[in-house]
Structure 1
Amino acid sequence: MNTNRLKKAQRILDFFHNNFGLHPPYNVLVDGTFCRTALEEKLQIKEQIPKYLGAQLKLVTTQCIIMEVEKLIKINSNLYGAWLVVKQFPVHKCGHAKNPIPASSCIKSLLKKRNPAKYIVASQDDDLCQYIHRRVVGAPILYLHYKTPTLEKPTEKCLVVASKKSKTLTVFEENTLKSLKRKYIEDDQQPRKKRKKPKNPNSLSCKKSKKVKLPQQGIKEGKRKRKRHRTKKISKPSSTISGE
């Protein structure tokens, strides 16, 4: 599976998930035209479609679709294989069990205008696809381009509706916004505490340390230097010669 194709399909699914509420497991509504083309191209629907979409999904059909293919077998016997393929999918109730209607009309009645059941429509019917483009919002279309499953891009109508939704807030978002505003307004109205100025450092902690004087070299500790005292000599008077 090409990674670029996978990423593109996931971006389209994310668009419908964020704007129209589609979420896995996706309900892929398969009709007879899609089954016939897949059979001709030798495409395994149950294997290839989940790989392409990269998500959990349910392949479903309706009783009207099965009945229509069964009736067409009488006209074209080549549709017998498509009938066997479409029969293997679970049947969603469409409300037409007693009075079956054409497959395209059945799908239109399920989609309505807003696709309430959140279907992904897998079909090769051009008329049905054109109707979805004009009348239905939020219904992705899955078709086969030869052997390649392809998820159609959102239509202009879907883009317009999505842009309008992005401009408006939901009830939950409005309540959240109000609570945040109330919180910030209350915080602003409360008196702010005065910021304390930093105090001067303790004078004792800034007291200079006393330097210890090292003893001088050559003087042993515990002994004082001996001082020399000089004594002055007293000169004796010279003796006089008697008899002069």
Structure 2
Amino acid sequence: MKIKRYKKAQRILGFFQNNFDLRPPYSVLLDGTFCRASLEVKVKIKEQIPKYLGAQTKLVTTQCIILEVEKLSKMRANLYGTWMVVKQFPVHKCGHEGDAIPASSCIKSLLQEKNPAKLLTDHEEKTLKSLKRKYIGEDDQPPPKKKKKPKNPNPLSCKKSKKTKPQPQNEEVKRKRKRHKKKKQLDEEASTSSGK
């Protein structure tokens, strides 16, 4: 692990500890998207996440997440590895064991259950919106619609048709195919015609 990356992670953790009162030990809820991304960049979750967050970090998933990734892996073969990664972690009881729901809804329900008070107060929410407007330029208004420009016709539709006009049946001329004889046959024909 690079020292710069470790220091940056510690700075970010310090920000959340000071502003949102998040303290170790951390519980990290892993979903299929995170596991898929870690596979693509070849990150070993069990080894590297505790290095950044601390040795007491608990990595968990839910039954809903596992079932969703399993269904997706049956439809797409490239998600089989993701399913194998998700299954490695301990399962946290989400309360949807009998009737599985989508992973995103399951995660939201767990967050609401564990955090009865909102993470962001009204003041913090307003501050975040003003910072977004200032630095990113995002407004609450939807972006203006673009005017549609007139488009050129499809170049394939402008081509001349390759159909030929039908000729009258009486004057129909068939093109005869010329046959080329091989040299052997020509020699044999010449010898038989000279023999006669």
Place the TM-score, normalised by the shorter chain, in its bin: 0.5 to 0.7
TM-score, normalization: structure 2?
0.56
Structure whose alpha-carbon radius of gyration is higher: 1
The reply on whether 1:109 has 2:109 as its aligned counterpart is: yes
**Bigger RCO (CA 8 Å, 6+ sep):** 1
- Confirm or deny that 1:30 pairs with 2:30: yes
The CA distance in 2 between the partners of 1:11 and 1:56, in whole Å, is: 19
Gapped runs of 5+ residues in structure 2?
Answer: 128-196
In the other structure, the counterpart of 2:62 is 62
Change (3 A) 1:96 1:158: farther
Instruction: Choose between structure 1 and 2: higher strand proportion.
Output: 1
Q: Write the letter of the residue equivalent to 1:101.
A: I
Question: How many Å apart are 1:101 and its aligned residue?
Answer: 0.5
The residue aligned with 1:80 is 80
Question: Cα–Cα, structure 1 residues 7 and 24, in superposed 2: closer, same or farther, change >3 Å?
Answer: same
Question: Aligned letter for 2:19?
Answer: N
User: What residue number does 1:93 align with?
Assistant: 93
Distance apart, 1:41 and its partner CA: 2.0
Please give the root-mean-square deviation of Cα atoms over the aligned residues, in Å.
Answer: 3.0
CA deviation map 1:67-108 (0-9, x unaligned): 100111221122111111111111111111111100011111
Deviation, 1:62, is 0.7
Q: Deviations over 1:21-79 (max 9, x none)?
A: 32222101110011112112221111111223345301111111001001112211221
Contact 2:32 2:82 in 1 (8 A): yes
Three-state SS of the structure 1 residue aligned to 2:75 is coil
Distance 2:125 2:113 in 1: 15
SS, match of residue 74 in structure 1: helix
Which structure has greater helix proportion?
2
Higher mean C-alpha displacement, 105-114 vs 36-45: 105-114
Name the % identity.
69
Change in Cα spacing, 1:9 to 1:55, as seen in structure 2 (3 Å) is farther
